[in-house]
């Protein structure tokens, strides 16, 4: 990219040098011919419309127009087209924008530095005036005291007071001039700041346009992840039920084996027993089913997380670039704290109006939070369980007892929480494939409820009180 840019610059200046050499050789030869043609065509030119003025590219500043005016027409056209082409190129628009931002920031910093030096000088005159005001006050008190006592010297003190007022007035005049210079620089700083912010806004909008479809896809994937997580939680609850069944079968097999041992059977005979073989096959089958289901659950979670990570990786560069230009806008100019001035001869004190720009408020852009896998808080592998339909009935009863009225829309229509917090068996069975006869613990039931409400986009604060009461029920 750097080689292409250097080649373009060389092309522009070579074009200028060739035109200058050709123009110098042809000027003398064509001078007389041009003079004659101008005289002959003067009458015709007077009747023709005036040619349109040469267009100057909008990105050329006043300070650079001297250099621009020295360039030939062909070089100007090449440079204008090159600039527009570079700015429309996706890979270079950020580079050009950063160059323009750096240009404006350079003048902001330079004028802020000069304004700061002028403000320091102005403050020094202010300190001198404060000291002179104190001296003036003491001199005035001394003159008043001498006059009251009838002693000579009050006129000299009044004369000294007059001289102090003159010095203070001169310093105030200097301060006025300095403040005017500072305010002029503040206005120039605001102009450059607005130009810089306009470029930053343009680039921020560019990256927001790039981010919009990616963020939308991330939102869809997050909703899909919530649905998959609900199904995975339900599957884990059913696996706990299968483990409880295995435990009962193992206990039955152990009792049969103990009976055979008491009867004098050997271990080999016990293993060959048909009942023992049947129970062992059932146990092995259930464990195999549990392993396969655990693998499927992990695969579902990994697949959706990989999709989210892939899309998030694609969005991250655009987020960083957008934040980069947001930070550019957050770099606000220095506030020198200048006081509003009044005319000395006007008792009413008409204040000057200054177009100081307001500082933009800070913007907060939320980032996507990292997904945290839910923890399995089951300490006991085989706790006491209840049927799913029984737990659902208890939950709906608590919802009905603790429902509150909330406003649904702007028309004043009211409804109870229970209308959308109640768990309907057909709705949750379709999403989780859990039936009423499935056994589970309260902890697993609450995991399903929380994930089910998360899919329905219901905030946890609306049912946290019901969770607390549900935990305390027997």
Residue 248, in any domain of the structure: no
Specify the pLDDT at position 73. 62
Q: Give domain status of residue 303, yes or no.
A: no
Query: Is residue 388 domain-shared with residue 469, that is, in the same domain?
Result: yes
CA distance 91 to 96: 10
Which residues have a Cβ under 8 Å from the Cβ of 83 and sit 6 or more positions away? 57, 59, 96
The answer to whether the predicted template modeling score (pTM) of the entire model surpasses 0.85 is: no
Distances (CA, A) of 427 to 70, 130, 442: 78, 81, 20
Q: Are residues 7 and 77 in the same domain?
A: yes
CA angle 27, 33, 34 (to 5 degrees): 70
Q: What is the pLDDT of residue 42?
A: 44
Q: Which alpha helices (H) appear in 263-371, and where do they start and end?
A: 267-272, 274-330
Strand partners, 351: 342
> Is 144 within the bounds of a domain?
yes
Q: Same domain for 72 and 126?
A: no
Task: Please provide the average confidence, as pLDDT, over all residues in the chain.
Answer: 75
Can you give the pLDDT at residue 387?
87
Range of the structural domain that residue 198 is part of: 115-210
> Quick check: is 275 in a domain?
no
User: pLDDT (tens digit, 9 = 90+) per residue, 435-453?
Assistant: 888 888 888 888 888 888 8
Q: List the chain residues with pLDDT less than 70.
A: 1-93, 342-383, 403-419, 474
- Nearest Cα to 376, choosing from 206, 181, 243? 243
Same domain? 460 vs 417: yes
Decide if 336 is inside a domain: no
| Residue 337 Ramachandran class (φ > 0 left, ψ -120 to 50 alpha, else beta) | left
Q: Which residues contact 293 (CB under 8 A, 6 or more apart)?
A: 235, 238, 239
| pLDDT of 306 | 94
**What's the rounded Cα separation, in Å, for the pair 356 and 258?**
94
Note whether 68 and 146 are same-domain residues: no
Distances (CA, A) of 130 to 45, 127, 135, 172: 72, 5, 9, 11
Residue 453 inside a domain? The answer is yes
Please indicate, yes or no, if residue 293 is contained in any of the structural domains. Answer: no
Examine residue 153 and state whether it is found in any structural domain, yes or no: yes
- Both 463 and 406 in a single domain? yes
Three-state SS across 34-70? HHHHHHHCHHHHHHCCCCCCCCCCCCCCHHHHHHHHH
Domain count, the chain: 3
């Amino acid at each position: 990219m750097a080689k292409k840019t250097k080649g373009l610059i060389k092309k522009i200046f070579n074009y200028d040098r060739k035109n200058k050499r050709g123009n110098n050789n042809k000027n003398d030869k064509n001078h007389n011919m041009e003079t004659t043609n101008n005289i002959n065509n003067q009458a015709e030119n007077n009747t023709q419309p005036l040619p349109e003025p040469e267009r100057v590219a909008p990105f050329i500043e006043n300070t650079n127009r001297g250099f621009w005016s020295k360039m030939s027409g062909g070089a100007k056209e090449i440079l204008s087209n090159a600039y527009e082409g570079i700015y429309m190129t996706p890979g270079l628009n950020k580079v050009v924008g950063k160059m323009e931002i750096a240009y404006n920031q350079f003048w902001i910093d330079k004028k802020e530095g000069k304004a700061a030096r002028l403000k320091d000088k102005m403050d020094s005159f202010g300190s001198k005036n404060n000291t002179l005001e104190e001296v003036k006050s003491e001199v005035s008190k001394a003159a008043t005291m001498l006059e009251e006592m009838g002693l000579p010297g009050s006129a000299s003190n009044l004369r000294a007071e007059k001289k102090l007022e003159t010095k203070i007035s001169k310093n105030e005049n200097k301060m006025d001039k300095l403040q005017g210079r500072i305010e002029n620089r503040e206005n120039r700083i605001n102009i450059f700041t607005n130009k810089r912010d306009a470029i930053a806004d343009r680039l921020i909008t560019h990256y927001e346009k790039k981010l919009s479809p990616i963020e939308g896809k991330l939102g869809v994937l997050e909703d899909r992840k919530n649905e998959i997580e609900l199904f995975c939680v339900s599957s884990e609850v059913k696996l706990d039920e299968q483990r409880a069944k295995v435990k009962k079968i193992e206990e039955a097999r152990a009792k049969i084996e103990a009976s055979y041992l008491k009867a004098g059977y050997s271990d080999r005979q016990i293993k060959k027993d048909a009942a023992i073989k049947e129970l062992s096959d059932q146990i092995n089958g259930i464990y195999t089913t549990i392993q396969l289901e655990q693998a499927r659950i992990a695969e579902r979670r990994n697949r959706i997380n990989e999709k989210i990570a892939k899309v998030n990786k694609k969005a991250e560069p655009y987020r960083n670039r957008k934040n980069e230009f947001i930070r550019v806008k957050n770099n606000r100019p220095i506030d020198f704290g200048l006081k509003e001035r009044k005319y000395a001869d006007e008792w009413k004190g008409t204040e000057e109006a200054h177009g100081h720009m307001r500082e933009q408020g800070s913007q907060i852009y939320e980032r996507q939070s990292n997904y945290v896998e839910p923890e399995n808080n089951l300490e006991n592998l085989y706790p006491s369980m209840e049927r799913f339909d029984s737990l659902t009935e208890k939950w709906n009863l608590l919802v009905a007892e603790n429902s509150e009225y909330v406003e649904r829309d702007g028309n004043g229509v009211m409804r109870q929480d229970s209308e959308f917090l109640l768990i309907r068996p057909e709705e949750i069975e379709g999403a989780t494939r859990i039936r009423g006869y499935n056994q589970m613990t309260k902890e697993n039931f609450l995991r399903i409820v929380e994930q089910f409400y998360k899919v329905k986009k219901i905030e946890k604060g609306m049912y946290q009180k019901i969770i607390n009461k549900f935990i305390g029920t027997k």
